[in-house]
Amino acid sequence: MIRVRPQHVRTRLTVWYVSVLGGILALYVAASSIFLFLSLRRELDHSLVEDIETVEGLLKFGPDGNLILSAAHTDPGEEPDQGRLMEIVTPEGRLLYHSRLLGARTLGTAPFPGEGKDGYSERSSKLPDGAPIRIASRFHMVGTRPVVIRLARSEQPLWGEFRNLVTVLLLGFPIALAVAGLGGYALARRVLSPLQTMARRAERINAERLSERLPIENPKDELGHLARVFNDALARLEQSFEQLRRFTADASHELRTPLTAIRTVGEVGLQKEGDTWHYRDIIGSMLEEAGRLTRLVDSLLTISRAETGHVQLNRTSFALLDAVREASGLVEVLAEEKGQNLTVEGDTGAMVYADRVLLRQAIVNVIDNAVKYSPQGGAISVRVGRHANQAIVEVEDSGPGIAPEHRAHIFERFYRVDGGRSRESGGAGLGLAIVKWSVEAHGGQVSLICGDNGGCTFGIRLPISAVTGVSAPVAASKERG
Ligand code: ADP
């Protein structure tokens, strides 16, 4: 069987609507016709009962034994049965009276079902000429003799009324469906028209036009809701695109600086002849820049892996103080070069369940900043402790501090408070972004407190692990892989 499915939603809606309405109307026509027919027939039956009761009062047997219908108020020439279709028979079916209107026709010679003693019955039938009639019959005692009165009325008027009603209803049926169909189609078109506008607008949106949004006619209806959800998705997409664009631009910019430095050092070095020391010096500078480049590329790789969720945490249980000591050991030389006093102290019982290498790198970044931004001879204090169910590392420095307007941003990628100065000291603004990501990947948080007169304290809080080190709290482990 071939099923035709209309292409447009509005056509489908209209077809559904008209079909359902057609079904309801058909039921309505059938129910109201049946109801009308039954109530007309009840009225007819009621009239027949009245007729029978009238006739019963008029019946008597004459002296010759014949049944007489005595009418008290009949006009001259009028039949005593007043033109009724009537037959009176004995319970055995012998005819006692036959109205003139019946002529040669009979209402039935054999007893009707239910016509016995005290019986009353009604039924529809047809006269031999095909005229539909309704017959009522009732058992009655005339004196001591039982008779059965059969009275009939034509059902023609009843069928006539019934036919009229059905005709009117059936004529109205297609008109009602046509009007409803047109109205439904217009309504569906109107209601769905915002969808077309949205589709046209959505077609125009591409990577270059992500700032465009779908129009919202009524924010409270379903289409408005759809447009809002779509717009929210676009906003997120736009934000991701923007971040990606910024990341690519920032990364290229950062990569260019050491590359330019390497080239410049090389070109300047080649411009004049020199001795071995001269070339060693040049190569040393170039290697320094290359090291910087390598660190930058490593940071970029870490960040991009973190973004795409491709970093697998290799967790073990260990004392946080041990990792902090290892980290400070890596930057100790720098602190010594600047004559700074770098101290590490704290609680050996603060255990964490974490990726040791990743966490150590995060702590190195924070201590390295403290060393970088603290002045010659300054003090840097690293403390490890426990609070509630958290293991805490605090790194306090004696640097210039960070102005309040920058504090909310320093954990963002490529954010530098003083671009030139921190680039000079080797930073690309990625260190703290890596710290934040790696601490949060372990279910922890980073914090920053700065004093009014300089000096900052960076805090790293991690979920504490049971000393056995089997597992950390589940909620805190945000492993990626
Ligand atoms: P960078 O590698 O350039 O230092 P970071 O992400 O580690 O990048 O730090 C971001 C910025 O935050 C730095 O440019 C610096 O301006 C500021 N900053 C970080 N740590 C400190 C600190 N201990 N004292 C003062 N400023 C800091």
Q: What does the block give as tokens for 245?
A: 């664009």
Residue nearest to ligand 1 atom 21, measured at CA: 369
Helix (H) or strand (E) holding 69: strand 67-69
Hey, which residues does 287 pair with through a beta bridge?
A: none
What does pTM read for this prediction?
0.56
Q: Which mutation among 397, 422, 430, 453 tests ligand 1's pocket best, with the greatest number of atoms within 8 A of CB? A: 422
Regarding the beta carbon of 369 and ligand 1, being less than 6 Å apart is answered: yes
Q: From the DSSP assignment, how many helices (H) and strands (E) are in the chain?
A: 9, 14
Long-range (24+ apart) CB contacts under 8 A made by 168-172 are 169/29, 169/32, 169/33, 170/29
Ligand 1 and 398: CB distance under 6 A: no
CA–CA distance, 428 with 365 (Å, rounded to integer): 12
In angstroms, what is the span from residue 427 Cα to ligand 1's centroid? Answer: 8
Tokens 């007309």 belong to 40
Please report, in tens digits, the pLDDT of each residue of the chain (481 residues total): 566 677 788 888 899 989 999 999 999 989 998 999 999 999 999 998 888 888 888 888 888 888 887 765 555 555 566 667 888 888 887 888 888 788 777 777 555 665 555 667 778 888 877 888 898 888 888 888 888 888 888 888 889 988 998 899 889 888 999 999 999 999 988 888 888 888 888 888 887 788 888 888 888 888 889 999 999 999 998 888 887 888 888 888 878 888 988 999 889 888 888 788 888 988 999 998 898 889 888 888 888 887 777 778 889 999 999 999 999 999 999 999 999 999 999 999 999 999 999 999 999 999 999 999 999 999 999 999 999 899 999 999 999 999 999 998 999 888 888 765 555 555 778 899 999 999 999 999 999 998 888 899 999 999 998 754 433 333 333 333 2
Q: Is 428 in the pocket of ligand 1 (CB under 6 A)?
A: yes
φ, ψ for residue 34, nearest 5 deg = -60, -40
Quote the pLDDT of residue 477.
35
Residues listed for the chain: 481
Residue among 412, 340, 397 at smallest CA distance from 366 = 397
DSSP 133: E
The alpha helices in 309-451, defined as continuous H runs, are 320-337, 356-373, 404-407, 419-424, 431-441
Gap between the Cα atoms of 182 and 117, Å rounded: 62
Q: Which residues of 220-258 are buried (b: 16+ CB within 10 A; e: fewer)?
A: eeebbeebeebbeebeeebeeeeeeeebeebbeebeeeb
Looking from the CA of residue 418, the nearest atom of ligand 1 is: 16
DSSP string, 361-397: HHHHHHHHHHHHHSPTT-EEEEEEEEETTEEEEEEE-
